[in-house]
Structure 1
Amino acid sequence: MSSTSYRAPASRASSATPMSLLICCTPVHGHVLPLLSVTRTLVQAGHDVRFLTGIRYRTLVEQAGAQWVPLPAEADYDDRDMDRAFPGRVGRRGVDGARWDLRNIFLEPAPAQLRAVDEQLRLRAVDAVLAESMFLGAMLLLCRPASARPPVINLGIVPLGLRSRDTAPFALGIPPLPGPFGRLRNSVMNAMTDRFVFAELQRDAERMALAETGAPLPTAAMNYPALADAVMQFTVESFEYPRSDLAVPVHFVGPVSVAAAGGAGGSGDLPDWWDDLDGRRVVHVTQGTVANGDLGELVLPTLAALADEDVLVVVSTGGRPVPPSSLPANARIAEYLPYDRLFPRLDAFVTNGGYGGVHHSLARGVPIVAAGSTEDKAEVSARVAWSGAGLRVRRVSADSIRTAVRRVLHEPSFRENAARLGAEIAAAPGPAGIESVLRGLRAPVA
C-alpha cells in the first residue's frame, strides 16, 4: 500500500504569496498542451511549478518555466503511435474502444502515477496538486482524507464527466433529456452502465484504491473529479450540459490554449500553397495529433466527399508524414498548420472531436462537423450538436460528410451558434482564472 508523509506548507502571509504547485498530466499531446498554457501563466505569476509528465514533453515543460518531473517508465509511453504503444486497442471503436482505453491507457498507470506524486510530496511541500481529468493517479490521491493530502484541483481538459441526475453516463456520447422523464432515463442508464458496460473498470478501480491507499473509492471511477476540492473546466458554460445537483464547485474558465491548438507551428510557418486560400470557401479537416494513424477514418472520406464541391479542403496530418497518394485538385495538405492564421479564414471545420481543436473553431465562430467515437471524442461531438454549433456524424462516409458540410455551410444557425459561443470564450478569463481558485482553496492543515 502506497503511503505519503504529506507536509502542509506554512500558512501564507498574504494572497500574493507564491505557491508551490504540482501539475500532473498523462503523456498525451492534447492533454499536455493546455496544461503548458496554465504552467506559463502560473510561472509568470511567481509560483513554483513542478510538472509531472512523460519524457517526450520535458523540453516543452522546461520552456514553459516549470521543473519537469518524469513519470515512472510504467506510466510513460509515446503518444505519437498509440496503436503501437497499446496493440490491444487496434480496431476498437465506440463503447468497446472507450472501455478499453479507460482501463488500459488511463487506469493501469494510476498506481505508478500516485507513487510519483507521493515522491514529490516528500521532497517538498505542496500547496495544491493540479491534475487533468485522465490522470487517474489523482483518483487514488483523492481517496485519502483531506488532512492527508494537499488540495486537489481537477483540470477539465475533456468534457465534464461529473455524474448528475441531469445527464446520461459519461463516455457514451448521449445528450441529456430535460424534465422528470429525462432524469428517470438517466438514473436507469447510469445503473445499467455501471452494471454492464463499465462494471469491470469499476471493480478494478475499487480494488486498486484499497490496495494503494487502504481506503475505498467512494464513487464511480470516471466521476472521481467529484471528490476534488474544485474543478477547473476548460470550456464555457454554454458548451456544457447543465447540472443542478453538483457538490464540487465547477469554474468555467474557457479554453486555455486556443492560440496553440493543434500543435501547429508559429504564425510564420506557412506552407507554399497558403495563397491558394485567397478568395475561396475553405474547409479544414484533421484527425488531431493522436488518433491519426489511419487517415481513412475521417480525412480521406472528407476529401472524397468534397472533391467536387466548390470549396478548398485544407488537411492537417497532425505531425504524420504527408501521404504520397494523390490529392483531389481542390485539396491542400501539411503536417501542421498555424491555427491562429488558418481559422479566421475557415468556413467549416471537420474534426474527429478533439477538445482543443473544437474550442479553437468555436473561438473563431466557425461551425463544426464532428465525427468522434473514441476516447472522449464521442462526448465532444455530442456537445457540438447539442450546442447548435455544428453537426455530429455518427457513421463516417463520403455521403454523410458531404451532407453535413453542406448544411453547416448553408444554414446560418450553425455559424450563429458558433459565434455566440465564440463571444462567451472571448469573455472568459482563460488560464488567469486559475489564480483566484487557487487563492480560495482551504488553508493547509498544520
Structure 2
Amino acid sequence: MTTNELASKKILFATYSSEGHINPLTGMAKHLQGLGCEVKFYVSDHFDAKMKSIGIDYYPISKANDSNSETIRKQYPELITTNDPVEKHKIYQKILVKTAKDSFEDIQDIYSSFPFDLVITTCAYLSIPLIRYKFQVPVVSVGVIPLAEDEETGAKNTPLPQENAINFKEGSNPYAELLTAQGVPYQKAEIVNILKFLTRQASLYLQIGTPEFEYKHDHLGENIRYVGALSPYLKPASENKWYDERLEKYAKIVFVTQGTVESDTAKLIEPTLQAFINTDTLVIATTGGKGTQLLKEKYVADNLIIEDYIPYADVMPYASAYITNGGYGGTILSIRNRLPLVAAGLHEGKNEVCARIGYFKIGIDLKTESPTSQAIYDAVQEILENKVYKDNIVNLSDDMNTYNPLALSVKYIKELLNKES
C-alpha cells in the first residue's frame, strides 16, 4: 500500500475520554491527517478545545455516559469513598461495561454517516471486539500502559493481571453478557484477564515503549509491535516557552506531578513541597488545576514553584529528578529526557509502572501512594548521589530514541490494511 492509497482511508479514533487515553493518540491522528487520511475522533465535549486546537473534527458522546477525568469521581463518588482494591475493581467493571455498551451504540450511529475503514483506540477499550465483529474493519490498539502479557517466571514482582487488571472472574460476568448479546465469539477463560484478552483481540497492537523497558515474555502475541515514545501532538515550538529565572539559580531541581486524574494533593505533591521547602533544591509542582491557589498560600518559599500546568518539555531538561505517581506517559517522557524517577503509585495499574521503574533501576519505587516527606527526600538524595540510576536511564533513553514512532506506526498500519484487503 502506497501513501496515496492510505490517503483515501477514513479513520475513526475512539477511546475513553481521559487525557491518558486521548493525548497519546493525537500525534498519530495529526500525522495520518497530514498524509491525506480523513480523520475523526469520537470523544467527550470536554475535549472540544483540544480538538479545535489540533484541527480535527469529532463526534461527541451521545448515548454513552459522558465521563472524563474531571467528572468521573462526581458521577461515581464510590470511587473516592472505597479504598478496597477489590471493590474498586468491581466499580470500574460496572463503569467500563456500561461505557462499552453505550459507546458501541454511538459508534454504530457514526458509521452510518462516516463509514470508517479503520478504528484506532487504546488498550483497555472494551469495545474492541464489538467493533471488529460488527463492522468487519481492522482495529488498531495503542498500548498506553505497560504490556499485559505473560512474563517469564521470576521476571518481576508485581504481576499486573492479578493485581490491577479489571478482571472478570467466575459468577456474574457483565462483559461476557455484553459479548454474547452482540454475538461476539469468545472463550470463557479468555476474559478472566481482560487486558490480555483485549490485546489479542486487536488487529494490530502498537505498544508505546521498547522491549528494553519490558520484562521477558514466554509468549508474545503476534499482533504486537513496539513503536517507541509515541507522543501527543505538539504545535510547532514558539518563543513563548515557560521559563523561570530560578531554573538557572538552583543546581538541584525536582519536578513533581500527580497527573490529571488524581485530585488529592496530600498524596504526593504536598509531602514533596514539605520535604524541600527552604532548601537548596528547587521544586516545580504542577497540580492539573487541583488546589493550586491553596498550595501557593500554604507553601511559601523562593525554592517552590506551584502552577496548574507547565509543559513537561519545558521543565524536564532542567530537572534532576522526576517525582510521579506512575503515569505511563510521564514516565516515557522522563525516559526520553534521561531523567531518573521517584515513583509512588498503586492503583489503576500505576503500581505496574512503578515496579518497572524499580526493576530496571531507572529510579526508586516507594511502593505506596502516600509516601512521607522523609521518604521522598531520601529517595531524591539517593538518585542524585548514586549514578547507577542516571546511567540506566541514559541507556534506556538512547535505545528509545532509535525508534521513529510515527513512521513505524504508519508502516505497521499499511501492512495491516494490505493484509486485511
Preserved contact between residue 342 and residue 380 of structure 2 (Cα < 8 Å): yes
The equivalent of 1:127 in structure 2 is 117
Alignment of 1:32-431 (within 5 A): 32-93=22-83, 95-96=85-86, 99-100=89-90, 102-142=92-132, 144=133, 149-161=136-148, 163-164=149-150, 166=152, 177-178=154-155, 198-199=168-169, 203-216=173-186, 219-220=190-191, 221-223=194-196, 224-257=198-231, 268=240, 270=242, 274-280=244-250, 281-291=252-262, 293-307=263-277, 309-324=279-294, 325-329=297-301, 330-395=303-368, 396-431=371-406
Q: Is the 8 A contact 2:129 2:184 kept in 1?
A: no
Separation of aligned partners in 2, 1:110 and 1:130: 15
Look up the equivalent residue of 2:202 and give its one-letter code.
Answer: A
Residue pair 1:259, 1:339 contacting (<8 A) in 2 also: no
What are the ranges of 5 or more consecutive residues in structure 1 without an aligned counterpart? 1-10, 167-175
Q: Which runs of 5+ in 2 are unaligned?
A: none
| Identity across the alignment (%) | 22
Query: For the residues of structure 2 that align with 1:57 and 1:283, how far apart are their CA atoms?
Result: 30
Bigger shift: 90-99 or 103-112?
Answer: 90-99
Change (3 A) 1:247 1:358: closer
Secondary structure in 2 matching 1:56:
helix
Letter of the aligned partner of 2:287 in structure 1? Answer: T
Q: Find the aligned partners of 1:301 and 1:97 in 2 and give their Cα distance.
A: 28
Is the alpha carbon distance of 1:58 and 1:97 closer, same or farther for their aligned partners in structure 2, counting shifts above 3 Å?
A: farther
Which letter does structure 2 place at the counterpart of 1:244?
D
Q: Identify the match of residue 20 of structure 1 among 10, 31, 36.
A: 10
Give a deviation string over 1:279-299, Cα, whole Å, max 9, x none. 3110011111111x2100110
Measured in 2, the distance between the counterparts of 1:101 and 1:391 equals 31
Residues 91-133 of structure 1 deviation map (CA, whole Å, 9 limit, x = unaligned) = 4457337614631443320011212222333334332211111
Alignment partners' CA distance in 2, 1:201 and 1:208: 15
Inter-CA distance 125–81: structure 2 relative to 1 (3 Å threshold): closer
Find runs of 4+ consecutive structure 1 residues off by over 6 angstroms.
Answer: 11-14
How far apart are the structure 2 equivalents of 1:239 and 1:117? 35
State the Cα distance separating 1:266 from its structure 2 match: 6.9
Count residues with an aligned counterpart.
409
Are 1:287 and 1:352, in contact at CA under 8 Å, matched by a contact in 2? yes
Contact 2:257 / 2:323 at 8 angstroms: preserved in 1? yes
SS state at 1:434 partner: helix
Distance 1:430 1:101, change over 3 A: farther
